[in-house]
Amino acid sequence: MIARPEGGPRVVVGVDDSAGARCALSWAIGEARLRRLPLLVAHSAPLPPHVSAAGQLGCGITDALRGSGAELVARLLDEVSGGPPDGVEMTALALVGEPGATLVRLAGEDDILVVGHGTRGPFSRLLRPSVRLHCARRARATLVCVRPPAIGTLPDYMTLRDEPEHAPDRSRFRWLGRALRLAR
């Protein structure tokens, strides 16, 4: 592993509990491994409106948000790569603040900022703005938006549950191709 000087380029990925964030984390781990860059995994939780309006920052809510964010990052790393990825220098942060603004502050000009591309409706966007669009408008770093796969779960299509046992000429990839054609 190549040690980078302080302030050198790195891969910064923002995560939450969504399919797009899992795909973004997986892509960021692969990119950090490929380019031999340090990886920064960040989760930022916004303060609930009632807490920020009342000014009750010292009541333990920020500590609870950071704790749940750290648990989420650990769980996502476990799901995506079986724990901290091998061969990658990694730092994980659980922060409190608006996710888009936090990621823009964390990513420098020479960094690669990775975010997931979610599928939310217009009403949801009114309640909470898009982190991806915020980063696209304001980030100085190279921005990569990772979409989840178009089909629900790729491993379900890779298994041969519905195929007869005596069909050796059909491979899993042929089955996947047929399933993708039917999904259109």
Q: Output the DSSP codes for 22-79.
A: HHHHHHHHHHHHHHT--EEEEEEEPPPHHHHHHT-TTSSHHHHHHHHHHHHHHHHHHH
Query: What is the model's pLDDT at position 115?
Result: 96
- The tens-digit pLDDT sequence of the chain (184 residues) is 334 456 689 999 999 998 899 999 999 999 999 999 999 999 999 887 776 555 555 568 888 999 999 999 999 999 999 999 999 999 999 999 999 999 999 999 999 999 998 777 677 666 677 899 899 999 999 999 998 877 655 555 555 455 555 454 455 555 555 555 555 5
pTM, whole model, 2 decimals? Answer: 0.74
Query: What is the model's pLDDT at position 4?
Result: 45
Q: Output the DSSP codes for 87-109.
A: T--EEEEEEES-HHHHHHHH--T
> What are phi and psi for residue 37, nearest 5 degrees?
-110, 155
The continuous run of DSSP H or E covering 133 comes out as helix 131-138
- Separation between Cα atoms, residue 92 and residue 155, nearest integer Å: 28
Of 51, 91, 52, 47, the residue nearest 73 (C-alpha): 91
